[in-house]
Structure 1
Amino acid sequence: MSAYIKFTALSGARNEDPLCYLLEIDEAKLLLDCGWTDAFEPEDLKQLKRIAKQVDAVLISHADIEHLGAYPYAVGSLGLNCPAYATVPVHDMGQICMYDAYQSKSDVEDFSTFTLDHVDTAFENMVQLRYSQPFSLSGRCKGITITAYAAGHTVGGTLWKIKKDTDEIVYAVDYNHKKDRHLNGTVLMTTEALARPSVLITDSYNANSEQPLRKIRDAALVDTITAALSAGANVLIPVDSSTRVLELAYLLEQHWAFNRVQYALIFLAHQSYRTMTLARTMLEWMGDGVAQAFSQRREVPFDFKFLRTLYRMKDLEKLNGPKLVLASLSSMDTGWSSQLLQEWCEDPKNIIILPDRGLPTSMTRRLYDEWNLNAPPIQSNGLRPSVNIELDLPMTVKTKIPLEGEELAEFLAREQQRREHELESLAKQRSLIEEDESDMSEDEGEVAEVANILATGFDIYVKDQTRSGGFFKQSQSYRMFPTYEPRKRVDDYGEQIDPAVYMRGEYQYALQQAAEEEESAQGPTPMDLDRIRPEEDKIPSKYITRETNLKIRCKVMYIDFEGRSDGRSVKNILPQVAPRKLILIHGSEEATDDLAGYCAETESMTTEIYTPHVNECINVSAATNIYQVKLTDSLVSSLKVAAIADYELAYVSGIIRFPQDEIPGLMSDQTPGDITTPSGTATSTVVPILDFVPVEDQRVHRPVIVGDLKLSEFRRLLQAEGFGTEFVSGVLVVNGKIVVKRTAAGQLTMEGQVGSDFYRIRSLLYNMLAIL
């Protein structure tokens, strides 16, 4: 039976905005990704706010802001209250990504759109899955099974297969068929489980782009970096905090180790330590290259010797000489990358290397557009060189400054008044309690006295009547009301005293700053690495906003390290998947139309291609006229059932009748469809009955063949039966004289010399299908 399927793009359709889509399967509502920009403007989530409370499940495909940035906010503020599903790395790295984004915003403004508690609550509701692990949903999603497959774009990145009854929906965005240094390619074209889905939802982001070979891009990156550092320049590479940065870090660490580069290699992010620590635990999710390095050379993945992980700008300022910095966030609108851009952009020697194009409104996209406009044509290596940018951009600079002098004194005075007010409130509550206790009767006082005794650090012993001896010689097993007496921490001079308890406010902040400086010199402790959630900044500060003109005079170069399949590869992959219906999302108008036009002209592709706009709902159900009927017992007993896969099918010949006595107001010349309300909508909910037709009145029907046989499966069966088989241009050739192929309409045909082999092969083919 086919399901009723509708698809609505909430964001990221015919544009390159973050990804967020609503998929409706019968009564169930699934949210495919929940992306946002790192500006975190609630106005961007109008469409999500409208349906957030109705969503039954959320599927997250990648651990970056474009795919899950709005998830904590939706849980904390929009009423999204349903389980979310992701792989283990997407859960762990996604949480780090949101921590880093929160800290980056809190460093420069009074950020309250979402909190760390929202992040924790959201990720606690996330169910962690493994690749190829079918998981059955419950509630209104009952009957739906989801399965995660490797996307190849990020560690743990996911292609989702959503199945209900005979419908299979594949959600495949941001995938990469090529191997990276730390990841294998996607399984989209290599696994039969994803072939010929009912609906394929995929992106057209790279439909108009072409990538040079990976070794060319790697060589261009290290050559550009080496030339800049040798000339005394600094190199800035804006990166995300938890996903694609792993590829760049792994590549640069290998180059530094092989060539013994003496310049500083830095990964600067608030969660840099935790990102690399978690990466070391994800060996099974990474590619063959990392696994071989671990098994053959015993190299611990991402246990870097040359790359230093920092999380504060003042630690970076202590390093002298030219340096290469991988800084978050990738948009350069906020975070350490934005601050370094402001400091380094006016030096013509410095260079900014863009590993991706960024979102349309980001600073990264502005620099990419400027480079794309001024860069020379493609060179012999397939890349375009760096260019000197002269660009003046108006910019709003936000800064967080610790309070000093009179402002600090006023803040401390307000805090002291607040604490005193709290103490007064507590004192009033205690006095009221004491007055109530004084009014207690004598019996109540005795009860309270017994309660006080039980609250002390002593045990009450009950005498054992079966044993002799004094009361105080009883066994320890007869204790009642046991309590634990905490031991006081003492040293050779007596009880230990915490000086912070007796310090005034300004001394506490000075002590905290001194401790931070000591921590910076020693590096993070194992306890710091184990503590995932960052601590709140308790130093009193104020936020300053000023308008400035950013003068960019440095070099800019774009080298594609996005980790996505390019346009030529996508156009080769889609015909191999061969979906029955295709929905194209997340790409510019030009890229979407180009890919849709190519698919429409390809003979082996479906003709049902959809390119929806934002907030446009499309119906992609396999069958639009679905009816439910009741079968009588006599009819059921006469059916000849054929089994195929998990289903049992039968051809039915019967008479449909409606029980008129159950339909109020139904006249003899009316059908249930004739009954309407004043608004014109049908009100009949009566299920018709399909009754038995006598054999003499039944008409002979032509046999119906049901099933979707894959040629690769049929080939394995023929080989097991001793036939010689081979694929020639997508056609299965058996014993060199019989051809089995699939037509453009999806039907299987057999051609060849008629004989015993032909009929035997046809019989095997029929056995794998259901004939009704």
Structure 2
Amino acid sequence: MFNFTPLLGARAESAASQSLLELDGGVKILVDVGWDDAFKAARLEALSEHVSTLSLILLTHPTIEHLGAYAYCCKNLPLFAHIPVYATIPVINLGRTLLSDLYSSTPLAASILSSTPGQADVSPNLLLDAPTEEEISSYFDHITSLKYSQPHQPIASTWSPPLDNLTITAYGAGHSLGGTIWHIQHSLESIVFANDWNQGRENLLPGAAFLSGSGQEILEPLQRPTALICAAKGVERGEILARKDRDAALISLVRETVAAGGKVLIPTDSSARMLEIAFLLNETWREGTHGPYGDTFRSARVYMASKTATTTVKYMKNMLEWVEESVRADAEAAMTKGKGQQGQAAAGGPLDWKHVRALEKRGQVEQVLKRQKPCVLLTSDRTLEWGFARQGFKVLAEDGRNLVVLTEEVRGSDRVQKGLGRQLWERWREGQRGGNVKIVEGNGSPIEYGDTAIKSLSDDELAVWETYQARQRQLHSTIQGDHTLADSTGAEIADTQAAADEDAGHASDSDEEDEDSEHQGRALNMTAQLTQSQKRQQAAEAITDGELGVNVLLRAQTAVHDYEVRGKKGREKVFPFVAKRSRFDIFGELIRGEEFLRAEEKDAGSGENAVNGTAGDRGMVGGKRKWSELPVGGKGGKSGRQQFSKRAKMEDGRAGKKGGKQDDIDAAIALATGEGTGPGAAEEDESELDDESDYEPEDLDSGPKKVVFISSHLSLNMRIAHVDFSGLCSMRALQMIVPLVRPKKVILTSGTESEVMRLAEVLRPGVEGTEVLTPREGEVVEAGGDSNAWSLKLSRALVKKLTWQNVKGLGVVALTGRLSAEVDASDVPQIKGHAAGADSDLKAEDDTETPKRKKARLLDTESDNANNPTSITKSSTTTKPAELPLPILDLPCSLASLATAQPTTQRPTRPVHVGDLRLASLREILSASGHSAVFAGEGTLLVNGVVIVRKSGARIELECAVRGLDGGGRGRGRVMGMGAGVEGGGTFGAVKRAVYGGLAVVAGV
């Protein structure tokens, strides 16, 4: 049995995808960490509840819908970054560039701080800290890469239960470069997770790997799974054009717009589908410049605009084995001619994108938009809520000659205001109601959109932000088992003291006034660090018991001494233990400064005003002061203003010397290179863009920020068109593939309410004997093939006679036994003067408790506790309720018959052959025996030109090719995974014996 829970995207408007698989033994697998264009942290609350019990994570596609929240969870959710993650190499590389483009393009990707428990929500728009480039790179370096058709036994997280023969295998899914269909094998459960797949091949991307090489049968590992988890996204798209017709429709729209002098804006994602469209446009421009429309194509240029465009294309060219076979063959042929190097695009090859120019800076995009020349702008993102697509739309929307081409449906989210992409999609759908219109005119209609502005925080908002940060640090350290924050305060102060002493040693020749100022600053730093420690302690007290989980036993502020572990899994079942670490140096353990504070310092540091930093405590030691306020005079009697003016003069002198040298160097470089001089320095080259020019807004001061939403309106004259480049399977493909897979259960997810229910109505009558499940977000469904499994106990006498065989990591044995509810005689304790089980009327001594008495006592105890709840003790709360004894499976004959040596009347089980024999292994065995074995087709092996071995699913068929030849050539048989002997001679008999030799012989009892 296993449970499936869709966390996001099931029967909902959101396109995000998050799914949870819970296998036997408490193993939990998270498939995808998707997000939607709203980037709200509240959508990840369901995921955060399962982080501490996750065993591993699987990623399917490098898109926002499948891994958009991965970097956010690694940075903000405790323990998430320590969970093993598995994906293909393209998903890792393209996912890294996707999130780098996302976080550098929109501040909303960092998400907005929600109100914390016990704290008033002063401002709902406080931005969290976004992960840096280095952090994003480290998160993706943590992912383990896999290849297609490579069975892998993953390593679980440190708090996860054992995986027990769990095997994951990645297969091609289409839709994106490196897109994955995951096959999960766990014990007897076979799960195929196919989320957003495309069976048809495209220009650059291969199709899904459901079908074998012949194209008539499903791949053997994907046949007859326990459950097929399939996405229903896109089944209501209507008429789906063939690939050539789809490409021709897009090229026709682009050519007509360019010929009329307009610009074409194609918003799409920056990693998965952008590469497919860019490859098509590059091939069209390369061939079209010499065709009948050569002048049109030569007058326009194709641009791929995203902040990681160059890196994305570079990654694609270095992953040649993941692209479509014909593209790979053409690229390898171009390389063999000496026009390219391994891993790089050869000149004139399909991966030589000389007609597509990458734009990574805002200034470059602005220059392209200002020019009067036609062009094609392929930008991110398809929602037009972030990226260069939003910038391009604002500039091009008012010109009726321009065209925006929507490549896929833009789904809604939980935004209050609809995004630009959603509004354009709805307007195109409204235009289609009057007929099948190719292009929908804008006609100057107004369109509303929202802009964002980043501002610094006020004093009240800053206090909320500091409280949240302290609380998060304490929560991370508590959940991750690091309780050394308070203990390390003394070490931090000691390090500060050592650094200050070293600086003082180097500046020993300074005057007495500077020394006094340094001592004063050192005291301020020490007290400020102690205040921060007290803030962390107060933040720790604000954490609720539910957030701590089992770590509530470690809190000294609560009187919790018992924790309910029944029903818990993973680390929640283990008593937490934290080894406190102390820092040492060459002189011993470091001293904690807070233990040696004076009484006035303790009073000043422990007061509420000192923690909150109010104006009344700015005069105290360690209290906050504004930048406009000057420090209080030191021991030497010098006023703060005199010390400040003296230090300012020194800093100005140093800056003047350094600035003068720098200016001289810059002037010399400019004079030598000729930059910035001459009459043509400011002229713009129409053929090239200024790579150094950038018009990014000035960065605000470092520190926490908040976002302010601004509503604006725009007159839409731009034309709207749609060509389906979503790369998703159609309803017809699903109706063809799912019956061939023959799953026992089908679970539909990742789709709207209407899409999921429509696909379920189509599949239920089309797939006989298959149950179709349609869960909602957060709904747990039970699936699996062990719905009729029962637990029983083997007797010791039976266990001694079992001979186990290993088949694919599973212990298999065949037996025949007698099932009874009696207690195993070997488990009854020995009684003085008697043999156990010799007499059924034997009684135990008064001090020995029989199982029946124990069961009665437990039932009486439970009834008493139910009547008197207040009398429940600690031991009774942790005792499991009484359960019925498991039935006993014993030998076919009773113990009494064995004692009297009466022969049994039942026959033992006959041996069976179990396993899966591969024809390649059979060929090696026969070749080693001196036989000639060659492959004569898909799934067919010809031995000595006489015997044909065919494999169809789990069945192996042996057939004579030429009758009358060879002594064993007159037989025909079938091996269905089991048999009772090997007969026959000659070639036929040898092949039959080799087939049985490749299977495990399971002996009976």
Correspondence for 1:598: 762
Q: Deviations over 1:158-180 (max 9, x none)?
A: 11111112221111111111111
1:624 Cα deviation from its structure 2 partner: 3.8
Q: Tell me how many residue pairs correspond in the alignment.
A: 656
1:156 aligns with 2:156: no
Match of 2:188 among 152, 155, 166: 166
- Alignment partners' CA distance in 2, 1:314 and 1:623: 61
Q: How does 1:749-764 map to 2 (within 5 A)?
A: none
Match of 1:667 among 852, 868, 877: 852
1:332 Cα deviation from its structure 2 partner: 0.7
Correspondence for 2:68: 69
1:572 Cα deviation from its structure 2 partner: 0.6
Correspondence for 2:716: 552
Distance change in 2, residues 1:725/1:168 (3 Å): closer
Structure 1 window deviating more from structure 2 (89-98 vs 260-269): it is 260-269
Correspondence for 2:304: 267
- Alignment partners' CA distance in 2, 1:125 and 1:595: 37
Native 8 Å contact 2:231 2:748 kept in 1: yes
1:589 Cα deviation from its structure 2 partner: 1.6
Distance change in 2, residues 1:595/1:731 (3 Å): farther
Correspondence for 2:781: 618
Correspondence for 1:388: 441
- Taking structure 2 as the reference length, the TM-score comes to 0.57
Distance change in 2, residues 1:82/1:563 (3 Å): same
- Alignment partners' CA distance in 1, 2:60 and 2:858: 44
Match of 2:947 among 722, 726, 738: 722
Q: How does 1:480-629 map to 2 (within 5 A)?
A: 523=691, 545-603=709-767, 605-624=768-787, 626=789
Correspondence for 2:543: none
Distance change in 2, residues 1:10/1:717 (3 Å): same
Secondary structure of 2:106's counterpart equals helix
Correspondence for 1:297: 334
- Alignment partners' CA distance in 1, 2:402 and 2:441: 10
Match of 1:397 among 451, 463, 475: 451
Q: Deviations over 1:576-618 (max 9, x none)?
A: 1111221111112222122222221025x44222111110111
Native 8 Å contact 2:234 2:730 kept in 1: yes
- Alignment partners' CA distance in 1, 2:890 and 2:99: 60
* Higher strand residue share: 1
Correspondence for 1:460: none
Correspondence for 1:221: 250
1:363 aligns with 2:405: no
Native 8 Å contact 1:639 1:652 kept in 2: no
Gap runs ≥5 in structure 1:
403-424, 439-450, 452-496, 508-512, 526-534, 750-755
Correspondence for 2:83: 82
Structure 1 window deviating more from structure 2 (579-588 vs 109-118): it is 109-118
Distance change in 2, residues 1:643/1:348 (3 Å): same
Native 8 Å contact 2:814 2:911 kept in 1: no
Q: How does 1:270-285 map to 2 (within 5 A)?
A: 270-285=307-322
Match of 2:224 among 190, 196, 201: 196
Q: How does 1:684-723 map to 2 (within 5 A)?
A: 684=883, 690-694=889-893, 696-697=903-904, 699=906, 716=939, 722-723=947-948
- Alignment partners' CA distance in 2, 1:297 and 1:77: 47
Correspondence for 2:388: 336
Distance change in 2, residues 1:673/1:74 (3 Å): farther
Correspondence for 2:6: 9
- Alignment partners' CA distance in 2, 1:621 and 1:248: 40
Native 8 Å contact 1:150 1:186 kept in 2: yes
- Alignment partners' CA distance in 2, 1:74 and 1:22: 16
1:40 Cα deviation from its structure 2 partner: 1.4
Structure 1 window deviating more from structure 2 (325-334 vs 626-635): it is 626-635
Structure 1 window deviating more from structure 2 (216-225 vs 640-649): it is 640-649
Match of 2:398 among 316, 340, 346: 346
- Alignment partners' CA distance in 2, 1:748 and 1:567: 36
Distance change in 2, residues 1:739/1:188 (3 Å): farther
1:244 Cα deviation from its structure 2 partner: 0.9
Native 8 Å contact 2:950 2:956 kept in 1: no
1:544 Cα deviation from its structure 2 partner: 6.6
Structure 1 window deviating more from structure 2 (570-579 vs 122-131): it is 122-131
Distance change in 2, residues 1:388/1:173 (3 Å): same
- Alignment partners' CA distance in 2, 1:716 and 1:521: 57
- Alignment partners' CA distance in 1, 2:454 and 2:264: 25
Structure 1 window deviating more from structure 2 (361-370 vs 110-119): it is 110-119
Matched to 1:123, the amino acid is F
- Alignment partners' CA distance in 1, 2:995 and 2:764: 31
Native 8 Å contact 2:816 2:909 kept in 1: no
For the aligned residue pairs, the C-alpha RMSD in angstroms reads 4.8
- Alignment partners' CA distance in 1, 2:449 and 2:109: 14
Matched to 1:313, the amino acid is R
Distance change in 2, residues 1:552/1:741 (3 Å): farther
Native 8 Å contact 1:203 1:585 kept in 2: yes
Q: How does 1:64-213 map to 2 (within 5 A)?
A: 64-79=63-78, 80=80, 81-106=82-107, 112=128, 114-116=130-132, 118-139=135-156, 140-143=161-164, 144-190=166-212, 191-209=219-237, 210-213=239-242
Native 8 Å contact 2:258 2:375 kept in 1: yes
1:30 aligns with 2:29: yes
Q: Deviations over 1:535-591 (max 9, x none)?
A: 998576997742212332321111111111111111111111111221111112222
Native 8 Å contact 2:35 2:69 kept in 1: yes
- Alignment partners' CA distance in 1, 2:806 and 2:499: 74
- Alignment partners' CA distance in 1, 2:231 and 2:722: 22
Secondary structure of 1:318's counterpart equals helix
Native 8 Å contact 1:375 1:386 kept in 2: no
- Alignment partners' CA distance in 1, 2:108 and 2:422: 23
- Alignment partners' CA distance in 2, 1:150 and 1:546: 43
- Alignment partners' CA distance in 1, 2:818 and 2:181: 43
Matched to 2:852, the amino acid is M
Q: Deviations over 1:100-157 (max 9, x none)?
A: 0001114999853531254234223211111122221234252211111111111111
Distance change in 2, residues 1:220/1:766 (3 Å): same
- Alignment partners' CA distance in 2, 1:368 and 1:60: 28
Secondary structure of 1:582's counterpart equals strand
Correspondence for 1:413: none
Distance change in 2, residues 1:626/1:671 (3 Å): farther
Correspondence for 1:474: none
Secondary structure of 2:50's counterpart equals helix
1:711 Cα deviation from its structure 2 partner: 13
Q: Deviations over 1:685-741 (max 9, x none)?
A: 9877644343845646998989798999999478657259799xx9999799x9999
Distance change in 2, residues 1:661/1:641 (3 Å): closer
Distance change in 2, residues 1:131/1:378 (3 Å): farther
Secondary structure of 1:188's counterpart equals coil
1:523 Cα deviation from its structure 2 partner: 4.0
Distance change in 2, residues 1:401/1:558 (3 Å): farther
Distance change in 2, residues 1:51/1:427 (3 Å): closer
Native 8 Å contact 1:171 1:201 kept in 2: yes
- Alignment partners' CA distance in 2, 1:193 and 1:49: 33
